[in-house]
């Protein structure tokens, strides 16, 4: 493992970097994390990735037949490389793992968020206590349409580990400028959209998952996009996700989920959080968060 980290960091020091943001850990996509692929070369480290699955809501109602509350605490590394042999294509590899425990996500859910909003705490019964991991890989083709820059993408990918397995296809656009006729808004406003189809299979943590998954995500971003190369970059991105559901109910039918996500990016740091707030419930895949460091950017701006 130490040798792999040395190789990864050595690659970061030998590559011309630019500011980009890590692809989400595979399980976080079904919790509402922003799921768009990376356009440029990147090596990022997510020092804390929290995803919480609660079997009960505040009233004690069960989500489905899963009889455990699970708090996933992952450390994740994500690497994206444009392929010189296939111009326009990017390869991404993402790996993450860590202890599955009740905390600290239980503290954040009950003692922070619920207290601030005046909600009852979510009860917890049996808890999963294990060390889990997930791996994913994608091949993404970037291209332009009708004279636009290469902000459109289509690709294939797969994810697997101790939680579940899922091959998928996806397509969409990333940071598309739609208001270029209005100079100020055109410089600072971007929109993104993604559609994904997946075929999940069960794993050690989730013994029964939906036979298929349809996911749609849209976001709007506000940032100094035209000045990322010569100024400290910043961005505020708000996203909405509709997922036909990774999980199923007591009859085996998929449980649709809706999420809202917020990402705050400044310099080499990104903080993102996601929540099922717009689903008007608080059980099943309820919320998550992550803090990401862009290693390429850190080296380029701080050490080069």
DSSP 96-134: EEEEEESTTHHIIIIIIIHHHHTPPPPP--SB--EEEEE
Token pair for residue 208? 């029964």
As a whole number of angstroms, the distance between CA 117 and CA 189 comes to: 31
pLDDT tens digits, 224-264: 988 877 888 999 999 999 999 999 999 999 999 999 999 99
As a whole number of angstroms, the distance between CA 146 and CA 100 comes to: 47
> Per-residue confidence at 35, pLDDT binned at 50, 70, 90?
very high
pTM of the model: 0.87
* 203, 165 Cβ separation under 8 angstroms: yes
Looking at residue 182, its pLDDT comes to: 60
pLDDT tens digits, 97-154: 999 999 898 888 878 877 887 777 888 889 999 999 999 999 999 999 877 788 999 9
**Helix, strand or coil, per DSSP, at residue 173:** strand
Give which of 297, 251, 255, 253 is closest to 276, Cα–Cα. 255
With 60 as the cut, is the pLDDT of residue 5 above it? no
> Which residue shows structure tokens 């029964």?
208
Looking at residue 180, its pLDDT comes to: 60
- Helix or strand holding residue 131 (H, E): strand 130-143
């Amino acid at each position: 493992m130490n040798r792999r980290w040395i190789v990864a960091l050595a690659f970061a020091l030998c590559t011309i970097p630019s500011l980009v943001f890590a692809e989400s850990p595979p399980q976080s996509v079904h919790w509402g994390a922003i799921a768009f692929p990376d356009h440029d070369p990147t090596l990022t480290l997510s020092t804390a990735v929290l995803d919480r699955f609660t079997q009960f809501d505040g009233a004690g109602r069960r989500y489905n037949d899963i009889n455990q509350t699970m708090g996933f605490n992952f450390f994740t590394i994500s690497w994206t490389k444009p392929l010189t042999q296939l111009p326009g294509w990017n390869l991404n590899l993402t790996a993450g793992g860590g202890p599955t425990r009740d905390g600290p996500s239980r503290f954040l859910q009950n003692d922070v968020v619920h207290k601030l909003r005046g909600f009852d705490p979510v009860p917890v019964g049996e808890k999963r206590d294990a060390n889990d991991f997930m791996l994913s890989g994608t091949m993404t083709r970037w291209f332009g349409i009708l004279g636009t820059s290469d902000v459109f993408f289509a690709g294939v990918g797969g994810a697997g580990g101790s939680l579940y397995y899922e091959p998928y296809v996806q397509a969409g656009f990333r940071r598309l400028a739609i208001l270029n006729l209005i100079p100020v808004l055109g410089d600072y406003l971007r929109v993104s959209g993604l559609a994904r189809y997946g075929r999940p299979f069960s794993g050690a943590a989730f013994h029964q998952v939906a036979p298929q998954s349809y996911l749609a995500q849209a976001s709007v971003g506000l940032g100094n996009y035209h000045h990322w190369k010569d100024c400290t970059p910043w961005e505020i991105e708000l996203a909405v996700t509709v997922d036909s559901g990774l999980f199923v109910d007591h009859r085996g039918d998929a449980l649709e989920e809706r999420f809202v996500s917020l990402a705050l990016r400044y310099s080499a740091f990104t903080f993102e959080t996601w929540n099922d707030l717009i689903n008007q419930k608080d059980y099943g895949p309820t919320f998550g968060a992550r803090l990401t460091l862009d290693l390429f950017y850190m080296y380029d701006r701080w050490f080069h």
